[in-house]
């Protein structure tokens, strides 16, 4: 029975898209890592709680197939702020978040990072 569960999770991982704009924060990448950890022995893995495993799989399938998005359709594709889905994806991209974090740094800190080989946190030690 563990073999069929393993194959179902593998199929889900193959279908789940990887989002390149969210490096190191992508749900698809985390899913692949967790499946690899949970099924270290592949089809021969012994599952401690099969019911919880099945529940997890069904929950992930509902997320992947947009079950609740289709069950409860929205009238508009914007939030209360008026921001569209595309704008949200752009704002949450890793590169944009990094740029915003760089903007928060003060001039002194930027100069120190530019001219010192070691990190500013190491100066405090």
Residue with more model confidence, 54 or 106: 54
What are the beta bridge partners of residue 78?
84
Band (pLDDT 50/70/90 cuts) for residue 122 is: low
> Could you tell me the residue ranges of all domains in the chain?
1-73, 75-118
Q: Indicate the average pLDDT of the chain.
A: 80
pLDDT confidence of residue 90: 74
pLDDT confidence of residue 125: 52
Q: DSSP string covering 4-57, please? A: HHHHHHHHHHHHSPP-TTSTT--HHHHHHHHHHHHTTTGGGPPPS-HHHHHHHH
Is residue 103 within 8 Å of residue 54, measured between CB atoms?
Answer: no
Q: Which helix (H) or strand (E) holds 89?
A: helix 85-91
Band (pLDDT 50/70/90 cuts) for residue 123 is: low
């Amino acid at each position: 029975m563990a073999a069929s569960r393993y194959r179902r999770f593998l199929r889900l991982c193959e279908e789940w898209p990887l989002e390149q704009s969210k490096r190191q924060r992508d749900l698809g990448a985390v899913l692949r890592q967790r499946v690899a950890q949970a099924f270290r022995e592949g089809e021969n893995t012994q599952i401690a709680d099969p019911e919880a495993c099945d529940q997890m799989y069904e929950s992930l399938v509902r997320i992947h197939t947009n079950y609740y998005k289709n069950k409860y359709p929205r009238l508009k594709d914007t939030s209360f702020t008026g921001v569209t889905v595309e704008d949200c994806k752009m704002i949450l991209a890793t590169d944009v978040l990094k740029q915003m974090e760089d903007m928060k740094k003060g001039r002194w800190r930027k100069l120190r990072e530019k001219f010192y080989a070691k990190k500013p946190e190491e100066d405090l030690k």
